[in-house]
Amino acid sequence: LPKTLPREVIELDLDDDEKQCACCQHSLHKIGEDRSEKLEFTPAVLKVLEYVRPKYACRQCEQTEDKNHVVQKPALQSIIPKSFATESLLANIILGKYQYAMPLYRQESLFTQSGIELSRTTMARWIIQVSEKFAPLYAALKVHLLEQVVVQADETPLNVLKEDKQCYMWLYCSGADSPDTALPNVRNIVLYDYQNSRARSCPVAFLGDYDGYLQTDGYGVYDGLHLVTNVGCFAHARRKFMEAKKLQGKGKSGKADSALAKIQKLYGIESRLKGACAEKRKAERQEHAKPILDELYEWMTTQKVLESSPLGKAIKYTLGQWP
């Protein structure tokens, strides 16, 4: 278990009357101990924070002046004024819905079990209010994101209520190793853009006049972004070859292994370069990765396989992403 977790030591010692020898009744002495660890879970705790703000007034002024000045600490500011929701409660509701896919009706049920009547309507309103508060931050992050040299994009289906067609969550992010050194404190930005469409108009509207490198899975709508330079993703290419490898049979080698071996070498180079500066990454890739890429390209263009086969599809996909 992780050493960083807090630990509570529970000693299971003998009672005093048990610390005597069963044979001769002499006192026993400690010769060692055994230790074992178990992972304990403490459920979330709900509590009410009652803020008391004493009021103060001057007795002298009460007698001599028409107006008596009352003094007290101002109420604490809240992200949602006049709401009983603390920031921690709001964060937990939002995290539950969007990070852990727990619908609000299920969260409503959990609160009910704790004796709290908190409707999904109220929680939905809170989420909207919080999103409105964070809109300026989202806009600022988007400005920084579109200043990056490389942006990654993807879209995934999203099931929602009361929509007449399939909806999508579009994701745009900067790489953790972005070569842009102008923003040393903004190394990784991830923004989500909800749309009820998978059309080209969605990335066009989000990216605007972005003219950097756009890394995607090769979905056709990105080809219509004429200002960007489209680049492929070897994680997706590798996945295609892995699908072809599965059909070779367990323990059997085949043509897909040749491609996977070359891709694995590329992964090894990237692993060694993790944390390196952009200049070093470029130099190392030109020296070590480019020959492997050239070899992979030549291998793919000389294979005689059915285009409709899993390996043929993997090769076609990868060549389609080639610059």
- Alpha carbons 21 and 55: distance in angstroms, whole number: 68
What would the pLDDT profile of 259-304 be if each residue is shown by its tens digit? Answer: 999 999 999 999 999 878 888 989 999 999 999 999 999 999 999 9
Q: What is the pLDDT of residue 171?
A: 96
CA distances from residue 203 to 10, 174, 246 in whole angstroms, order as listed: 57, 15, 34
Q: Is the pLDDT confidence value at 59 over 90?
A: no
Residue with tokens 């929602």, as numbered in its chain: 160
- Alpha carbons 112 and 232: distance in angstroms, whole number: 48
Q: What is the pLDDT of residue 256?
A: 93
Residue with tokens 């809240």, as numbered in its chain: 78
SS3 for the chain is CCCCCCCCCCCCCCCHHHCECCCCCCECCCCCCCCCCCCCCCCCCCCCCCCCCCCECCHHHHHHCCCCCCECCCCCCCCCCCCCCCHHHHHHHHHHHHCCCCCHHHHHHHHHHCCCCCCHHHHHHHHHHHHHHHHHHHHHHHHHHCCCCEEEEEEEEECCCCCCCCEEEEEEECCCCCCCCCCCCCCCCEEEEEECCCCCHHHHHHHCCCCCEEECCCCHHHHHCCCCEEECCHHHHHHHHHHHHHCCCCCCCCHHHHHHHHHHHHHHHHHHCCCCCHHHHHHHHHHHHHHHHHHHHHHHHCCCCCCCCHHHHHHHHHHHCCC
Phi, then psi, of 213 in degrees rounded to 5: -90, 130
What would the pLDDT profile of 162-208 be if each residue is shown by its tens digit? Answer: 777 889 999 999 876 555 555 555 568 899 999 999 999 999 999 99
Mean pLDDT of the chain: 91
pLDDT tier for residue 44 given thresholds of 50, 70 and 90: confident
pLDDT tier for residue 123 given thresholds of 50, 70 and 90: very high
Point out the least confidently predicted range of 15-29, 136-150, 160-174. Answer: 160-174
Phi, then psi, of 153 in degrees rounded to 5: -140, 150
The arithmetic mean of pLDDT across residues 293-319, rounded, is 95
What would the pLDDT profile of 235-258 be if each residue is shown by its tens digit? Answer: 999 999 999 998 877 777 889 999
Q: What is the pLDDT of residue 277?
A: 82
The arithmetic mean of pLDDT across residues 301-314, rounded, is 94
Q: What is the pLDDT of residue 195?
A: 94
CB neighbour class for 90 (10 Å; exposed up to 12, middle 13-18, buried from 19):
buried
Q: Is the pLDDT confidence value at 27 over 60?
A: yes
What would the pLDDT profile of 73-101 be if each residue is shown by its tens digit? Answer: 999 999 999 999 999 999 999 999 999 99
Percent of the chain with pLDDT over 70: 96
- Alpha carbons 190 and 170: distance in angstroms, whole number: 11
pTM: 0.79
Supply 288's token pair: 């070590």
Domain boundary assignment for the chain: 78-134, 146-231, 234-320
